[in-house]
Structures are given as C-alpha cells and as structure tokens.
Structure 1
Amino acid sequence: MDQERLSHAKDVSNGDTENGQSMHTTKRRRKRNPLVWLASRAALCGAWIVRVLLYLLYGICGLILLLGRGILDMCRGLVVPLGKLKHALMQPVRIQMRNADRVQQNMRAARHKGKKHFAAALLKSAHTYLWGENGLMITIFHYVAPVASLAFLVGVVLYGAHLQYGLVVQYNGEEIGVIASEEEFDAAASEVHKRIADVELAEPLIYTPKFSLTIVNDTSDYVPTSVLADRMLSSSDAVLTKACGVFVDDAFVGAVASNQEVEFALSERLADFNAPAGATDVQYENAVTFRSGMYLEDSLLDTEEMIEKLTASERYRSQYTVQQGESVVQVAKKFSMAESELRELNPDLEEGECQAGDRLTVIKTNSFLPIQYTERMTLTSFIDFDSIEVNTSSVNKGDTQILVPGVKGEKSNVVDIVYVDGAEASRKVIRSEVLSEPVTEQVGIGTYTAQPMSKNTVLRGSGQFSWPVDGGYISDPFISDRNHKGLDIAAPAGTEIYAADAGTVTYAGWNAGGYGYLVMVDHGNGYVTVYGHCSMIYVSEGQEVSRGQRMAAVGSTGRSTGNHLHFEVRYNGMYCDPTGFLRVNAD
C-alpha cells in the first residue's frame, strides 16, 4: 500500500516535471519566434481600430437617424395643413360629383314619367348643375377669377414699366413742348437769361411754368433745350428775330444775322498774329461759340460792329516788381517788349541790370479776346541749399562760424510757358535734370570754453587761434625786454593745454634747447603753433588733433622759472605775436 502511494507520488512528480518542462519549452519557443508576437499585437491593434470604426459608424448612423426623425416629425406637422388644403381644393370637386349623381338620379326618375317630364327634368337639372348655388360655372369662376386678376395685375405692371413718361410744359398759357425732366426747363430758362442779359425786359420775359405728366411714345417727341428756349421767347410779347448768338465762355455777347463773316474775321486775326518762332497752340484764351435761335431785336448787332467788339484791344502802362534772378532781357520778354523799349520806359536802368524788388514800368495789352500761345524753353534754375548747425570746439562758446559754406545747386528745366496777350500767364515744368547738387551749409556753434582766468584779460585778435590753456594769465608778452619769441601763460602745474586749432602733431617729446617737454602742431596753411615747458604730453607725432583737443599739461620743464605755457605762433618759419590771433573777452 505504501509502495503504491510512493509510486503514485512519483508518477505525479514525474508528471509535474514534464508539465514544467513543457511550459519552459513554450516560453522558449515564444522567445525564439518574435514574428508570432508581433502578429498577435498587430491583430489586437487591428481589432481595436475596427472597434473604433464601428463605434464611429454607429454614431454616424445615429445622427442620420436623428435627422431623419426630425424631417419625419416636420413632415408629420405638415400633414394636417396639407390635408386641410387638399380638402379645401377637393371639396368643390366632391360637390360637383354629388351634383352629377343627383342629376343622374333625377333623370332616371323622370324617364319613367314620360318624355315630357324627362325633357323638363333635363333642362332643370342642367341649369342647376351649371348655374346653381354650387354649380360648375360658379365653381370654375371661383378658381379662375383670382388667377386672372393676378395675371392682369402683372400685365399692367409690365406694361407700365416699359412706358416712357414726359412733362408737358405750359408756359405763359401755351403748351410749348414735352421735356424729360424739370432740369431741362431750368437749362432752357438759363439759355433765355443769357440771350436777354443786356436787355431791361429780362425779368418780365421769364414766367412760371406748369408741368403735367404724359406718356411719350418716342424719344424724338422730347423738345431740345435750344428749341424750348426759342418757344419760351416766342411766347412773350417781345419783338424777336431769328439770328445767331455769339457766346464767349458761355456768356452772351450779342446776336448777328450770320456768323460766317465773324468766324472768318476771328480766324484771320489768329493767322495774322505774330507769334515767336517755335510757339505752339496759338488760340484764343476764351472759347467762342455760335448758337442759332430766336433773339431779341435789341440784342442784334451788324457784322462789322460785332467783329470790332470781339477784336478790340488796348495797350496801357503798368508796374511790375522784378523777381529774384530776373534780368532786363527776361522782364522784357515776359511782356513781349523790346529791351530798348523797356529801358526807354525806365531811364534809371540805363545800361545796368535790374535787381529783385525793383519796380519797373511795362506795357500790357488788354484784349476782349486775348490770344494765347505756348513756348517751350530750357531754363536753368538754382536749388537752394540747406543749413545745419554743428556744435564744435573749434569756435569759442557764444560765437558762431561758417564751417562749410553753402553752395546752391543747379538744374535744367524744360518748361512750357503760356503767354496771354504777349505777357507770361503761367508756366509748367515738363521735365527737370539736376546739373549739380547743392552743398549743405554748416554753421559751427562754439563749445570751446577755455578763457583766461580773469575777465580783465582782453585780446582783440582775429580769433584764428583759441586761448590754449584752461585759465591762466599772461605772465610775459611777446618780445618783451628779452626778445621773447612767444607768449607766456602762467597756470598751476597740471592745468590742461589745448590745441589752438586743428592740425597735425609734428613733434611731441623732450627738447634739449630749453623748451623742455614740447609739442608742435602744423596747421597746414603755413602756420605752426608751439607749446613748451609741459609737465606731461598726451599726444604723439603724426596724430591729427582738432581745435580744443587736450594735448599736454602745464609744467616748468627746461629752462623755466615757474609753471607756465610758452605759446608760439610761427608763419612760414617767422615768429608772430600770438595776441594778434587770439580773441578773448572782446565784444
């Protein structure tokens, strides 16, 4: 018994061992086949994607179903009104069907009573069916009448839209024509005013019109403005005549029997006009027009009188102010005068030139119809320069100095000059070309503050050089009693020394000739300044320095008995008195 249990236990143990080995084998196989694992994962992802798509499709179907239900509910809501509409439309049909059945029953009943009763019943039934209370004709009328009325209304509107309307003008009790709008009458009234502008009867000839609407079959029925003006004048009591009106810039001048001679005279005057060579667009300044129509006899002029009026002109003296840059020749040309004529009218000119602002006597022409022409010229004009201020230590504080002179530029202009009656009226620049650019003027505003220690030290030199020490006083003048070749300026040791003007440092170092530490500056114009006995030097040879730039410090090096600056001015090697170039505390 115990052996069997042991044997069974052994078998079980062996079985577990085999199962364990099997599981280990499966795991090993899985590890050895990654493709199977990837395939399973792909299948799971695919299943998840399909599931998402199914949910999405389910949602779309639900939305469609919801919309369908909404449409169905809306249709259901229309069922009742549609049913009522159908009932209303079909009710007359049902009535007529019942009437037809009733007629048939009456006819069957009358047939058994004899032919006489049948004929009478037939007539009565037919009348009742067609013209009774709910007869067929009455029903048809109820349907047809609204449709016919609507069609008639549409037809009337369409017909009226294509009609043309006009205003019948009643003037002084007479119908004088049809116009499109009241503005045309206003234009005709304005034309009448122009024709009678120089006649005292102007106001009594203008009456208040009356307008009434009418249908116009053709646009040719409208009356033109000129014809309407003729009819307005004709309806008055004034004495009229058919003539040709002359207008200058739309202003009435007078009327003539014929305009041919007047036009010829004006054209001949233009042809005889002595325009300068190269002049173009020779024409009258004002527009001259001729309009045929009815005019007052009082405004009628004979041809010669009209020609004389239009071509009249006079010459008279006037004063002219000369503009900047104008010469005698230019002024004479401006008024189509000879230079000799202009000088004769202005004896003070003699052979000289005029100046801007001079008042000259010139000859002007005043014509009823001025003649104008255009002359193209190439002129040179100046371009003004700008001016700017620049702070500079090269100028003492409180003083100004032009550092860079301004220079005007020049440009060439192609100009069309319009002359009226020989005098320049206007000019227009066609194109320009800059010949030279202007140079900007630079005005130096002084910032240099070095001055003698005392206001009592006054030097009235040229100011070419500035005081070279921040303070100090003159302790020994030029020459003095020992042939002193410079100017000694005493100041405490270490006081700053400045360049008296811009230049190039030609020497900076120790001088064995008694100057001690020395700086020399060549200013490039023959002048050299010298700074001796310095305690320290801050510049080097070859360095460019500006006016007022710090170069050294006051000291007492070399042959010196105290702290001071020995300052010299040399011109081409010759010693000059520095005070002749310094200007300090001077008015």
Structure 2
Amino acid sequence: MADNSNRSNLERIIVFAGVAVVTIVAVLLSVLVIQDTNILQAQSGAEVQVYEIYENDKKVGVVADKDAFESYVWKAHSQDISETGKLYFGEQVSIIPNYIPKSELPQDSEESYQEIMEQVTLDGTAYQVHLSNGNTFYVRSRSELLAEIDRLKDMQAVKGVDPNDLLAVDEAKSAMTLGVEYTLQEATIDINQALSGTQLTHYLLTAKTDADKLYETQAGDTVSTIAKSNDMTVDEFLELNPSISANTLITPEAEVNVTPLDQVLEFTKMEKQELVEDIPFEIEYKDDSSLATGTEIIEQEGKKGSAIVEYLVRTVNGQQVKTEQLSKVVLSEPVKQIVKRGTGSISGGTGGSTIYDGPIYTAGTGKLIWPYNGRLGFGYMEEGYGGAHWGMDILGNAGDAIVAADTGTVVESGWGGSFGYTVVIDHGQGFQTRYAHMIEMPAVSAGQAVSQGQVIGYVGSTGYSTANHLHFEVIVYGQRVNPRPYLP
C-alpha cells in the first residue's frame, strides 16, 4: 500500500512540473511574438523612434532628430561659451528614446527646438565674480565684463567735463580708477544665471537682476523732467539709457529705464581743485555802559580777506568723500570788525527817561496784538552780520500811532539812549514789551496804567536809527526773546 501511495504522489509531481514548464514556454513565446511584432511594425513603418525630453521628470517636448536638436542648442549658445567652450544639459534633463506611431511623428523645426530649449536647464562654465565690497555674481564672458567696467568708468569720469575739450576728457578718464578689487573663478552653473549684455549693465548699475523699472514717456517730457520725477540726476538717467543724450528730443509713448541706481562697482577719482575762498574776519567787542544791555553798534566794519586754496579731492561714484588741503596763498588779509556792546540797564538806560519801579496795578491779558500795522523790516537775531538784533522792526511813516500790545503799567517813558524815545510796559508775570525810536516824547508816563490798543506814542527815527520804524521787543523775566511767536 505504501509503495502505491508513493508512486501516486510522484506521478502528481511530474504532472504539475510538466504543466509549469508548458506555461513558462507559452509566456516566453508570447513575449517573443510581441517583440517581433513591434520590431516588424517599426521596420514596416508603422512606428518610428523619437526622443522625449524631460526636465525634472516632466516631459517638455519630443524631437525626431536628437543630433539636430543638440546641434541647434550648442549653436544657439555658442556666444555664451565662446571663452570656455563648455556647455552641458543639466543633471535634471533626460533624453529618452521611444517608439510612437508614424502618424504622430513631430515636425522638427528651429521654433520647436527653441520652445523646448527654453524649458530645460543648460549648465555651462561661466565666471564667478567676487568683489571686495561683498558683491558676487556670474558673467558669461571675462572680456565682456572688463569692457563694460571700462565703459562705465569712462562715463563716470567725464561727468561735468566739456566733451569738446578732448584734453580735459582724457585727463578725467586717466584720473578715474576702479575702487574695488575683484577675482574671477570658473564655475559650472545654469547658463541663464550668468549675466551678459544689457543684463550685465543693469546689474552693475542697479545691483538687481530682476526686470527694469520702465516709464512710458508723455507729451512734453524732457530728459531733465523725467530724471527729476524719478528722484535721479540727469547723469544717472543717461547711464541707464545709453542711447539717449542730454539733448535728445523725447517722443511720447516710448519706454525709458528709470530703475533706482545702486551701483555694484565703485569708481574712485582723485583730482586737484583750486578755489578762491574768503577768509573770515575777527570781531572785537568793546563794552559801553552808555548803551543799553544787548545794544550793539558797529564802530568799524569788518572785511573778509581772500586766498587761493588748492585741495586734493577724492570722489566715489561722483560723490565727494574726502578733501585734503594742499596749499593756501593769501591774496588779502581780513580787517577786524569792532563792535560797541551795551552794558547799561535792560530797561534801556536812564538817559532822560523816567523809570517806575512801583507795583504793577494792571496785569496783561497774555495775548498780544500788533503794536503798529506797518511793513516788517529787520527781524530778531541772536547772532548775525553786524551783531545781534534783539527785537523786530516794523517800518512805517513818521507820526503814525503806536499802541500798547497788551494791558499793563508803563515802567519806562522818555529818552532811552540808542533806543531814542522809548516806552517799556510791564504786563505782570515777568512779561514786558518795549517800543523804541518814537518821534517825540511818548504819549504816556512812567507809572501810568494802559489798556491794550491804547496809543502810547508815534513812529519816528530817534536814537540809533536810519529810517522811520518801530523797534519792538518782548522781554520775559529780563531776557529778550523773539517777539514773532507772541503776535497773532
């Protein structure tokens, strides 16, 4: 029984093995048949071989002639690699052969090649530029970079130089140098990252690789008005638009470049300048107790001297950054100015005036009115040519009425030395006003209470005065201040 059972199992194994072998053979035969069919179809013209182009696993195009496509790419970028001769498809680019029906065969053309080329990465050997000021960028051509640096350097050098003066132009160009150091190093990058042509110029002038800021010209535009409206100088505008000159007639509906400048390069110029300069005069003060404190009278006019001064001037990109004096030749010495400075009482002195130092009966309102409606003359100055002027002059006609700027008590009335006929009114709280150069004795007396707008005297030119006017002062706790902020 055992022998029969073993024999039966063996027979089943043999049967199963036979079936498996038959199945495998059938599968292999079917694969061979399919392959033979594809080959026969391709050979018979039913399908053709093409090349699918992928960028990062995304199909961007199909070409029938791989060699023709690659030849077009290398030719189109021949100028980009003219100095290095190296150009490659990027690592993310794949070109995979495939078979498609002959009816779907693409029509290769330069247009189709260009469309595909714009979607794939091309790596090439370019130059990485390192500037000593920290800027780094890539260029396709070493010679183009050097030529562009020279062009921009010459443009910077001749700013402000008469183009017809060829000697001056040559001297200006010779004086201009590149103010930064740079190194060039070969680097394999996406060739589109390397700058060339207008892109290179744009970057060197603006430190930007994105699109230019463009302006569409309008009727009536000129080079200067466009530059001014875009916060740049005419020279800066011309640098951005080399096809335009300062005298170019601007036509409407044209596009011009107005990208803000931020130059990557630094152009340094050292030149000597000779200037005729003034030599300031000294001021000598002489105290005079006969004059009221704060009064200053010029006894001797000062006169400036002059000298020829030679400087060594250093500019960077047209901006002066350092000046060094080389020599100085005096043409004329300055003449000292002598000023008599009053040291008398703040109230204007006692030269014939009546002083009241009793109680203040009537306080002011705190809001002044104009004491005289005339033309404004010399204003308040703590320092100035000829000395300080501690009040404001209101010009007018002799005999016109002067009124109290506010309610108060007259504390001085009469002759005030250099002030001529004078009135001082105390308004309380440490606040006083002065009215000087009246034509005659004031209309009010010391110790008298006056109301705002009351006539206190008349315009004249007494004392140290050269024309009919009212000299008006505001005195706060003994210090004369600018009257203008207190008036309406």
Query: Do they fold alike, i.e. is TM over 0.5?
Result: no
If asked which structure has higher relative contact order (CA below 8 Å, sep 6+), I would say: 2
Give the greater-gyration-radius structure (CA): 1
1 or 2, which has the higher helix percentage? Answer: 1
